[in-house]
Amino acid sequence: MSPADADLTIEAASEDEREWAAALMARSEPWITLRRDLERCRIACRRPEYLLFVAHQGGRPCGFVLLHPRGVAGSPYLASIAVAEEFRGTGVGTRLLDFVERFFRPQARHLFLCVSSFNPRARALYERHGYRVVGELEDYVIEGASELLMHKPLGRS
């Protein structure tokens, strides 16, 4: 574990952090291309049935995950994951994915997420973590792009 890893914490989001997460989404890919404005991102980050966790580095928010506990056929669904620009490439995304898997492993056998077809970097991250494409939703959010449904079995530990 690097010194940066030791300083990273992940906790349930506060109300202010819900606004921070919505703003991060609205100014980041893939949400820009998917035409998700700030108001739509706010709605997503405030859905009562969703869980929002924020990663902090040095006391500052640096990334988040938005989760639906029973989003796909009763299995958990990772709805959104984002890392602030200055923290990208530092392992925050990997740590958030690891957190999600540990969080759901005690009660779930499967985990799902979608990745946009125009987001190869995110897809590569998920594939390195053992996720596999199980379906394609063509033109699902915007014309000319697919949402790729990915799945990972969660082994019990």
Domain map (residue ranges) of the chain = 3-153
Backbone φ and ψ for 145, nearest 5 degrees, come out as -135, 145
Cα 124 from Cα 104, distance rounded (Å):
22
- Using DSSP's 3-state secondary structure scheme, residue 157 falls into coil
Which residues of the chain fall below pLDDT 50?
A: 1-4
* Reported CATH class of domain 3-153: alpha beta
Q: Is the whole-model pTM more than 0.85? A: yes
CB 46 within 8 A of CB 18: yes
pLDDT for position 157? 52
pLDDT for position 4? 47
pLDDT for position 3? 41
pLDDT for position 60? 94
Cα 152 from Cα 105, distance rounded (Å):
11
